[in-house]
Chain A
Amino acid sequence: MTAPLLQINQLAKTFHLESYQIHAVRDFTVDIWQGECLAIVGESGSGKSTVANMILGVYPPTSGQISFKGAPLGARRTKSQRRAVQLVQQNPFSSINPSRRIGATLKLPLNVHDIGTKGERMARVEELLGEVGLPADYAARAPSTLSGGQCQRVAIARALASQPEMVVLDEPTSALDVLVQARVLILLNELRKKRDLTYVFITHDLAVVRNMADRVAVMKDGQLVELKPTHEIFDNPEHDYTRSLISASPVITEEEREMRNRLREGLAMEAVQ
């Protein structure tokens, strides 16, 4: 068997504030395999975003190590290391620079990583727009004329521009309306198949996880509490926290309500014991 694409080994991050320190992530170990979608699930303060930022090299870990294709990632990333791991953020309006045209935003990764000749880059931008389902003439548009869903598509196109192997999706649809969310999720699934991408999907929404992820890592207070294939985590959640997360998800169908009520009863029984 081949080695994992990304190995995270005993990762820890401590933030030092003026009078105290926060252990945002503790002893976090996981292997991420080429082509899979790993969801990291947790509530605010669980450390899931801190893990994402360390994968991206926004700040270095306090201890532990991240290796990409067997090579450890240092505090200063090389260009090719940066190119290989890209990001889609939660807020589509904030992540696209409001004072630059869409074309300029999409050209940045091409310029930074010297992809194609200068003449080819405009054509590449139009191709990227097409790939995320936007017309080519959007390159000349200002971000303020785009909807939230369209901005998020631009953000996805930008992440793909440098031809990365892994994309960190940090709550990519939680700022969007349900219909828009569904379309963006479908797009993300298509792109993953087409480009053989590896996703790290950071989210608090378990229904989205069920529809996107191959494996799920549940985090609480900076620690990994459960790591399993997606269907197992839903069929047989072991940790109490995982169960309470699933049972707290707002649901619609009768089938979902039954599942939730079963979990709630189980939790209540344990509480009594």
Chain B
Amino acid sequence: MNDLTLEIIDLSLSFKGLMETTKVLHDVSLTIGQKEKVALVGESGSGKSVTARLVLGLLQAQNKTRVSGTINFEGRDLAWMTARERRQLRGTRMSMIFQDPVSALNPVYRIENQFHEVLKRKRPTVSLDEAREESTAILGDVNITEPERVLKSFPFQLSGGMNQRVMIAMGLINEPTLLIADEPGTALDVTVQDQTLRLMHDMVEERGTSVFFISHNLGVVREFSDRLYVIYQGRIVEEGKTEDVFANPKHPYTRALLAAVPSITSGDTISDVINDTSAFLAPREVH
């Protein structure tokens, strides 16, 4: 009935500790349409990464977590799927790109074998030769000029930027409908990060992949996303089209965040920061 790629409704999450239960998400709701790039922006501990993990179905099975609310992926409720069905979605219909490409790739296998494994998730019978052929094509798309050499390499033999491009290629090779990118490139140098983000942008535009983009970096979000949600202490405080939110931030927290980012055009931008955080709990603003 609806054509949303991802729909999260009133998602709440608590961790049961030894002493007490900590609530880390409070009724988070967000949607990602087809071909839409949506960012979830927040500081560390705001709950943005656990939201991504919940979408991937990685936290539901743990007995220390309590989850409520609905996550619909392509119209199907994740909660009604078995753990096996959720596992089958990962790497096929939805895939993920991590912050640190070097630790996300397995150091003991060649890149071509890792591509092979990824392809086998969708088509279990695919041969290594077929995998090589398809990987070569997609590595060309991420501007890797010597795909043969890269495929024969181990991850540690490649630079951080090269690994990040391999990750992007691997994330997209099964043509997922949703790509979850958790702080991609944050571990890399700025120039490399900039290149990989532009590359990722072009790749998903071309393929019409929806993107769920998790980041703490407002500048990167501004560059990359169509729409954004700002999350603070497990609550969505502002949502809207990217340019609207940046042009006219309404929520006190969003304003404080934007004011705190140093500017490269004038040398005197960070002179007053709001120290009173009580206003940050004001209700959600929608553009």
Contacts and interface: CB of A to CB of B under 8 A. Distances in A.
- Indicate yes or no for A touching B, C-beta below 8 A: yes
Interface of A: 43-44, 148, 177-183, 185-186, 204-208, 210-211, 230-231, 234, 244-253, 255-256, 259
A179 B219 contact: no
Contact of B216 (A178, A205, A247): A178
A252 B222 contact: yes
A177 B217 contact: no
Given A177-B216, A245-B190, A251-B219, A231 B44 contact: no
Nearest to B195: A248
B60 to A, nearest CB: 28
B5 to A, nearest CB: 26
B44 to A, nearest CB: 6
A28 B43 CA distance: 37
Interface size class of B (residues with CB under 8 A): 35 or more
Interface string B252-286: 00001111111111111111010100000000000
B146 to A, nearest CB: 21
Nearest to A244: B191
Contacts of B275: 183
A266 B282 CA distance: 44
**Considering the complex of A and B, which 10 residue pairs feature the smallest CB-CB distances, nearest first?**
A250-B219, A182-B260, A248-B194, A43-B189, A177-B43, A207-B262, A248-B191, A211-B262, A182-B273, A207-B264
B216 A231 contact: no
Contacts of B15: none
A252 B222 CA distance: 7
A178 B264 contact: no
B223 interface: yes
Contact of A248 (B190, B260, B262): B190
Contacts of B264: 206-207, 210, 234, 246, 249, 251, 256, 259
A244 B192 CA distance: 10
Nearest to A231: B267
Nearest to A214: B267
B220 interface: yes
Most buried by A among B194, B246, B269: B194
Nearest to A211: B262
A154 to B, nearest CB: 18
Contacts of A185: 262, 270
A179 B191 contact: no
A28 to B, nearest CB: 20
Interface in B210-243: 216-220, 222-223
Contact of B263 (A178, A186, A256): A256
A207 B273 contact: no
24 contacts: A178-B43, A178-B216, A179-B43, A179-B257, A179-B273, A181-B260, A182-B259, A182-B260, A183-B275, A204-B189, A206-B190, A206-B264, A208-B262, A210-B262, A211-B263, A211-B268, A245-B191, A248-B190, A248-B194, A248-B195, A250-B190, A250-B194, A251-B219, A252-B222
